[in-house]
Amino acid sequence: MMRATIVNDPIDIGSLTREAESDSCGATAVFLGTVRSTNEGRNVDGIEYSAYEEMAEKEMMAILGEAAAKFVIRQGIIEHRIGVLAVGDISIAVVVAHPHRHHAMDALRYIIDETKARATIWKLEHYTDGSREWVGAGTGQPR
């Protein structure tokens, strides 16, 4: 089972790991991305995430398909939250299940790296001094 979803509500990691459970899988690997309090020396108050939702979900499903082909994972779930998130909130969860741990962890790294590079999602950082900035907007194109 593969699922990639953009969500507005807080991510419930317990429910995701239960969803990924399978009797044939002895390894469940989880990655959580959270909003941190500083970025490039500036104090962050929160991050506003937005997405081209239909395309982001399509791209994340393609990434899960690639991971299934490369690492033979049985279960893969990506949830990415959008909206205004506070420091410490989970912005993304990736859960992968495989019979064995090495493939689960390799797949997990592949999925999060590709999602960050390809999914049509943006973040507007809000700083404690009241200013805000689009992350990556001044750096040219990533592809």
Partner 1 sequence: MMVTVRLFASYAESIGKSEVSLDVGSGSTVADVVKAIAELAGGDRLPPSPLVAVNRTYAKGTTLIFDGDEIAIIPPVAGG
Using CB under 8 A as the criterion, which residues of the chain lie in contact with partner 1 when the complex forms? 33, 49-52, 54-56, 58, 80, 91-92, 112, 115-124, 134-137, 139-143
CB of 99 to partner 1, least distance (A): 27
Total Cβ atoms within 10 A of residue 58: 14
Helix (H, G, I), strand (E, B) or coil at 15: helix
CB of 26 to partner 1, least distance (A): 27
CB of 106 to partner 1, least distance (A): 18
Q: For residues 25 and 30, which CB has a smaller minimum distance to partner 1 in the complex?
A: 30
Q: For residues 24 and 41, which CB has a smaller minimum distance to partner 1 in the complex?
A: 41
- End-to-end CA distance of the chain: give it in Å, rounded: 29
Q: For residues 27 and 122, which CB has a smaller minimum distance to partner 1 in the complex?
A: 122
CB of 88 to partner 1, least distance (A): 16
Q: For residues 21 and 134, which CB has a smaller minimum distance to partner 1 in the complex?
A: 134
Question: For the residues of 64-83, what is the DSSP string, one character each?
Answer: HHHHHHHH--SEEEEEEE-E
Task: Write the CA distances from 37 to 22, 34, 125, integer angstroms.
Answer: 36, 10, 10
Note whether 81 and 91 are within 8 A (CB): yes
CB of 40 to partner 1, least distance (A): 13
Q: For residues 100 and 132, which CB has a smaller minimum distance to partner 1 in the complex?
A: 132
Residue 125's nearest CA partner among 138, 117, 134, 115 is 134
